[in-house]
Amino acid sequence: MWEYTDKVLDLFYNPQNQGAIEDPNQEGVAVVYGEVGSIACGDALRLHLKIEVDSDKIIDSRFQTFGCTSAIASSSALTEMVKGLTLDEALNVSNKDIAEFLGGLPEAKMHCSVMGQEALEAAIFKYRGIEVEHHEEDEGALICSCFGISEPKIRRVVIENGLSTVEQVTSYVKAGGGCGSCLAGIEDIIAAVIDEKETTAARIAAEIADVQTRGPLTMVQKIALIQKVLDEEVRPVLIADGGDVELYDVDGDFVKVTLKGACGSCASSTATLKDAVEAKLRLRVLPTLVVQAV
């Protein structure tokens, strides 16, 4: 028997915001839904959002869920959490936030919070007409045929949640929870992710040490290094949130960039420039760089 928190049980017995949202055909208001899971696999969630177009705010959210206690409670929690948020703010809601809102979930039920986060992303990206790159990547080689889980999906959940055991992967995405013939494959993916993480950390540490000891860069070296850091360390983070950044020009210590996608229309774009782009370039290329949006 699973140990559930009072909050989980409350939202299971008294779910909030259950049902669909009818399109009001009202000017300035849009309705969209995102869908994940499948009834054949035991869990399916359709998350509905009503959006005020001008402010980009979620003004209502409802859910239709087929699943267990945790799936119902996670879906209900999510609808409460996203109401009143802008779409950019909602994209920052992680599966960990959903679990925390509920006061925790049994690890074996964490897949319910993952399902909520994926349905939210699916709805927002559908509304924005943006292709969900990492979901598309989920269509890679099939590792767990019992639950239809691909290698990219396992990699993603391992990276995003810092998982280190096969049991954790089973809890988060169900892979490995059936016949067990994929367990070795899941173990290999975890080992590869940990190995890549350690190799990347060692490489970045060496490069940061190099920034402090190397001589001045030529302009060509500076531009090449800025582009490399943007491509490898900045853009993947922004793309995961529906945005992107492009290098426009470099003039002395001034790095001119264009914010794209969700970042271009985001109210926090100044913070993105300073925290996500400038701080990273100062650390990795030159401490005196100033990033400007053009």
- Is 188 an interacting residue with respect to ligand FES (CB under 6 A)? no
In the complex with ligand FES, which residue's Cβ is closer, 177 or 243? 177
Size of the site for ligand FES (CB under 6 A): 11
In the complex with ligand FES, which residue's Cβ is closer, 92 or 181? 181
- Is 145 an interacting residue with respect to ligand FES (CB under 6 A)? yes
Q: Which of residues 148-177 bind ligand FES (CB under 6 A)?
A: 175-177
Q: Which of 9, 179, 205, 209 is the binder for ligand FES (CB under 6 A)?
A: 179
Distance in Å, CB of 43 to ligand FES, minimum: 16
- Is 184 an interacting residue with respect to ligand FES (CB under 6 A)? no
Distance in Å, CB of 176 to ligand FES, minimum: 5
Helix (H), strand (E), coil (C) string for the chain: CCCCCHHHHHHHHCCCCECCCCCCCCCCEEEEEEEEEEHHHCEEEEEEEEEECCCCEEEEEEEEEECCHHHHHHHHHHHHHHCCCEHHHHHCCCHHHHHHHCCCCCHHHHHHHHHHHHHHHHHHHHHHCCCCHHHHHCCCCEEECCCCEEHHHHHHHHHHHCCCCHHHHHHHHCCCCCCCCCHHHHHHHHHHHHHHHHHHHHHHHHHHHHHHHCCCCCHHHHHHHHHHHHHHHHHHHHHHCCEEEEEEEEECCEEEEEEEHHHHCCCCHHHHHHHHHHHHHHHHCCCCCEEEEC
The owner of tokens 């939202």 is: 11
Q: What's the rounded Cα separation, in Å, for the pair 266 and 263?
A: 5
Indicate if 112 belongs to the active site.
yes
- Is 144 an interacting residue with respect to ligand FES (CB under 6 A)? yes
Asked if 281 and 229 touch (Cβ cutoff 8 Å), the reply is yes
Indicate if 182 belongs to the active site.
no
Q: Which of 38, 92, 164, 181 is the binder for ligand FES (CB under 6 A)?
A: 181
Among the residue ranges 33-41, 105-113, 180-188, 265-273, the one whose residues contact ligand FES (CB under 6 A): 180-188
- Is 34 an interacting residue with respect to ligand FES (CB under 6 A)? no
In the complex with ligand FES, which residue's Cβ is closer, 46 or 111? 111
Distance in Å, CB of 195 to ligand FES, minimum: 22
Active-site annotation holder among 112, 182, 263, 266 = 112
- Is 146 an interacting residue with respect to ligand FES (CB under 6 A)? yes
- Is 178 an interacting residue with respect to ligand FES (CB under 6 A)? yes
Contact residues for ligand FES, defined by CB under 6 A: 144-146, 175-182
- Catalytic residue numbers read 41, 112
